[in-house]
Amino acid sequence: MKRTLNKLERRIRKAAAMIVIGLAGTLASLLIFHPLSFIGFIIVGIALMLFANVYFLYALIRGPGKERAIEQAATQEVITMQPEEGGKTEPEIKPELTPEYVLAP
Amino acid sequence: MITPLDALIAIIAITLAIDLFLVFRPAATHGSGGRLLAFLGIFLMPLLITGMAFDTHMETSKQTEYCLSCHTMLTHGLSLYVDDKEYIPAVHFQNHRVPKEKACFTCHTQYTLYGDYAAKMRGLRHIYYQYIGTIPDTIKLHEPYNNRECLHCHEGARSFEEQSIHTGSPGQMDSIKRNEISCLSSGCHDIAHDAMKLDRVQLWEPYDARYRPAWFLDTLARSLAHIQPSHIVRSPAENSTPAASPDATSNTESN
């Protein structure tokens, strides 16, 4: 089964893609001896890479998003639903999930 | 031998590989190893590359050929070959008082904190004029030339300190050092590039091919076709031994 990417991974992919473009621009600017190559480096290289850096930090701060929280909550519920010694099931933590948070099978 | 540029290109290639891997396999960041890879490839190494590439570009932009890659500046470059010791830039360039590969930048930077960056910011304006704006008919300095740039090399030099014209009157040397008397505009060393009058002066053509860069020959051939061959003074060494130094010309600095 193919696992869908959470928000953190999607943001990391976007940041990596921006870095790839920025690096390609930087590499081209280094190999071309022309006054405009410096400008190209500033506009494409520096701008994209710094933006990708900030976006990466933002992604780390925001975390994996709702999908990951649901995954964790579901896992936690499964653990707490294990039958106890007396055979009685007493869920300790029961996160309240709104319908939009319910994962598709 | 590995140059800094080679090292930088190698680092860029490694970072590109890491980032391409992250683009196609972002799920790899699920584990701690993947997260470390992402931190290296997206944060740490791009920052390092940005710094190194900026420094490389700064060094490249200090080269004489870089400054003269704009057609407008070719006459200023050619003025470095004027066969007249009154031309201050020419005397400095021909006698290796300034590094040949950084001839423009050595005199046109500011010897202050962040002076290099200030010079490059002015350079960005030049690029704007070259490609988007209008190039002025007469190219002038942004501000009067500061003695600080001359004194960066000459201050403390015996040939400068003992020159009678510099110490002729009491307090003159102090006035020069305080920039109250300008080296260039006080009637002493007042001929700089004078690029508009190059068709009236003789040019020196170095004997050694290493000191006849491509831009010099191109400019001679294309940009200043009105300069007669008789205006070009070839080094005396051309007719004698080939091992002569380019310094051995009639154009030597007096101070």
- Whether the CB of A12 is below 8 Å from some CB of chain B: the reply is yes
CB contact under 8 A, B15 and A23: yes
- Whether the CB of B38 is below 8 Å from some CB of chain A: the reply is yes
**A-chain residues near B56 (CB < 8 A):** 30
CB contact under 8 A, A12 and B42: yes
B68, closest residue in chain A (CA to CA): A35
Query: How large is the average pLDDT for residues B133-153?
Result: 87
The per-residue DSSP string of B195-220 comes to GGGGGGS-EEE-SSGGGS-HHHHHII
* Domains of chain B by residue range: 4-60, 72-137+192-255, 146-189
CB contact under 8 A, B50 and A57: no
| Under 8 Å between Cβ of B50 and A49 | yes
Quote the mean pLDDT of chain B.
82
Asked if pLDDT for residue B92 goes beyond 50, the answer is: yes
With a CB cutoff of 8 Å and minimum separation 6, the contacts of A8 are A59, A60, A62, A63, A64, A65, A68, B29
Dihedral Cα B63, B67, B73, B78, nearest 10 deg = 0
- Kindly provide the ipTM of the predicted complex, given to two decimals: 0.73
Out of A12, A23, A29, the one facing B29 most closely (by C-beta) is: A12
Neighbour tally for A96: CB within 10 Å: 6
Asked if pLDDT for residue B251 goes beyond 60, the answer is: no
CB contact under 8 A, A27 and B9: yes
Q: Which of B35, B50, B128 to probe the A interface (max A CBs under 10 A)?
A: B50
* Domains of chain A by residue range: 1-83
- Whether the CB of B142 is below 8 Å from some CB of chain A: the reply is no
**B-chain residues near A61 (CB < 8 A):** none
Asked if pLDDT for residue A7 goes beyond 80, the answer is: yes
CA nearest to B151, candidates B189, B114, B96, B187: B189
Asked if pLDDT for residue B30 goes beyond 50, the answer is: yes
- Whether the CB of B69 is below 8 Å from some CB of chain A: the reply is yes
Q: What is the pLDDT of residue B248?
A: 37
Asked if pLDDT for residue B187 goes beyond 50, the answer is: yes
| Under 8 Å between Cβ of A48 and B83 | no
CB contact under 8 A, B69 and A9: no
Residue B246 pLDDT grade (very low, low, confident, very high; cuts 50, 70, 90): very low
- Whether the CB of B12 is below 8 Å from some CB of chain A: the reply is yes
Q: What is the pLDDT of residue B14?
A: 96
